[in-house]
Structure 1
Amino acid sequence: MKTILCCILLCVFLFCPKDSCPWYPRLKKESYRDQAQPMALVGKHRNYLLGPDETLIELARRSGIGYLALLNANPNVDPWLPPAGTRVLLPYAFLLPQSVQKGITVNLAELRLYYLWEEGGQERIRAYPVGIGSEGWDTPEGDFTIAQHIENPSWTAPSTILAAEPGTATSIPAGPDNPLGEYWLGLSTPGYGIHGTNKPFGVGRRVSHGCLRLYPEDIRDLFPRAPKGTPVRIIYQPIKVGLQNGQLFAEIHPDQQQRISDPVAEVLRQVATLPWQGKIDMQALSKAIADRRGVPVAISQN
């Protein structure tokens, strides 16, 4: 009986059917980075059966996944009126970007933030969905550091926002109406930072004025892990490849900025950097490129 009860509690903890679920991988054993295969697949997907009147935007919030990531992973599911009992893939598995580093790495193309740290001589990974800059308010790319570390920040509207959006409040004190949420991690480039939000349904979407928005429980977890001086790398990599148990995987995200003219050539370029020798299933690769679901797909021939 105790064993059954523990299993039930573990399932509630992992799948968070009613309460919001923070960062992932949830299981510690799934969070280790294989240093022998630095571009390895991390984490495991989960399946979820939708209940009556559930929507994908609500499920994204509860499962701790960004809305667009959940939408792309389930292209055949109506996001607003899905039938009860519909099986939904929760995309908790991912391939690491090529230039992931210790500290914080943000991949704008997949709307995901990675935190990499060392524990007991092994590297661990934690991933968080992020909201990024909308068109015309692009989040800057490059290497930065955490320069500000503020709990319960107040918000002062930048002049650029006041000019573009007349009527915006010039300042908002700390509290439930503050768009920065409970925590602010300011970057070394003034005006940009990683923060919480009072509008969590915007996480995992391109809706900000250039900052990086996290779910409230995610920034609460990241804040003490990222003191001043923590390195932050912001990149744009819509195509990733990696290995698991000798099998080759590709993770293809929509190329919002249309930077990659030949996706097949980009996959082959990345594969050439891996310690892998085998044959690529070109049909599987072509389908992954066409679908752009943002989930790891096996592309090696058996």
Structure 2
Amino acid sequence: MTRNKALKLLPLLTLTLTLAWVCEALAWQPRNREESIITARLPAPLVGEPRPYIIGLEEDLINLAWRSGVGYGALVRANPDVDPWLPAPGTSVVLPLSAVLPAGAKPGVTINLAELRLYLIWQEGEDTLVRYYPIGIGREGRETPLGEFHVANRAKNPSWTPPPSVRAERPYLPGTVPPGPDNPLGDFWIGLNDRRIGIHGTNQPFGVGRQVSSGCIRMYPDHISDLFYRVQTGTHVDIIYQPIKLGQRDGTLYLEVHPDERATLGDPLAEVLRQKALVADGSRLDLDLVRFALAEKSGLPVPVSAR
């Protein structure tokens, strides 16, 4: 199966773009997503929809990622045939705005390092809602740690005191950086009980969707301002690593595959089959589609149900 044939299976990608729709796509600037979910269902639910976008004059993917509210790495992986720096005007790209909820995600914050995405889940009456945001995480040698945490403190317009590891690299930094455009924490700080890390904004939004921080979780300025007022001290935070996620919507199974940067999976196909074994609804996998998704590692949820 070719990539083009597989992409035809994705929702919205076979639409004929009229001039009016093209104008709408060029002006559309999505933010974080919000949907009602059922967290107890197996496999996990699929939320959101991918969206097509037509590249305009003098556009590139790094600026498009910021404007459209997706991570840079996710946008590049979803469009491997597009030059991220010099895409041809008129090129159609996919905005990766859909996701399979991580297995075991529960109310609170779940951060999946494998996909560089943060999920916020909460209850409103009988409804369970989710919002999800792209993030930047720690680079090699300064990896963001895994584990269970909680929100320990919150601050608006925080000051930044460079830790010893950063000061060793940049001894010219002042003792404390006050709030403002030079502060790498941005306008909001959500500290975890592990004092080494926190969730914060950034004055370098092009780092969202990449592994470039010293261990903290970076978010776009408008996203952190939204999250800041939705969490409180004590909110549960899970930091996990799930490069393969099997989800479902309307009876169709979807597989979302990300690069296994930490090399935790010995046999990716066995991991898919393990997750499928938890599903007792009689659905079946098309193993050709599964193998194709595992090879592509596009980060896009693709349908893998057997017909």
TM-score of the aligned structures, taking structure 1 as reference length: 0.90
1:34 lines up with 2:44 in the alignment: no
Kept in 1, the 8 Å contact 2:190–2:199? The answer is yes
Q: Which amino acid aligns with 1:247?
A: T
Return the letter of the residue paired with 1:271: K
Q: Give the alignment partner of residue 249 of structure 1, picking from 250, 254, 271.
A: 254
Equivalent in the alignment of 1:268: 273
Q: Following the alignment from structure 2 to structure 1, what is the Cα–Cα distance between the partners of residues 205 and 121?
A: 24
Which residue does the alignment assign to 2:33? 24
Between the aligned partners of 1:120 and 1:190, the Cα distance in structure 2 is 34
- Alignment partner of 2:84 out of 59, 79, 82: 79
* Matched residue, 1:138: 143
Q: AA paired with 1:162?
A: R
Give the direction of change, closer, same or farther, for the CA distance of 1:35–1:226 in structure 2 (3 Å limit): closer
Q: CA RMSD in A?
A: 1.7
Distance 2:279 2:27 in 1: 38
> Displacement, 1:249?
1.1
Asked whether the equivalents of residues 108 and 132 of structure 1 are also in contact (C-alpha less than 8 Å), the reply is: yes
Task: Measure, in 2, the Cα distance between the counterparts of 1:155 and 1:138.
Answer: 20
1:204-251 deviations in Å (ceiling 9; x for gaps):
100100000000000000001111001000001000001111111110
- Letter of the 2:138 counterpart: G
Alignment of 1:1-302 (within 5 A): 17=27, 21-25=30-34, 31-35=35-39, 37-38=41-42, 39-302=44-307
1:144 partner letter: F
Q: Alpha carbons of 1:168 and 1:149: their partners in 2 closer, same or farther (altered >3 Å)? A: same
Q: TM-score, normalised by structure 2?
A: 0.89
Tell me, in whole angstroms, the C-alpha distance in 1 between the residues paired with 2:139 and 2:76.
Answer: 18
Deviations along 1:5-42, whole A, 9 cap, x unmatched?
xxx9xx96xx6737x643124xxxxx111356350111
Q: For the residues of structure 2 that align with 1:274 and 1:227, how far apart are their CA atoms?
A: 34
1:28 corresponding residue in structure 2: none
* Aligned AA (2:87): P
Q: Distance in 2 between matches of 1:215 and 1:252?
A: 24
Q: Percent identity among equivalent residues?
A: 48
CA distance in 1, matches of 2:40, 2:245: 18
Unaligned runs of 5+ in 2: 1-19
CA distance in 1, matches of 2:125, 2:232: 20
Give the total of aligned pairs.
285
d(CA) in 1 for partners of 2:72, 2:174:
28
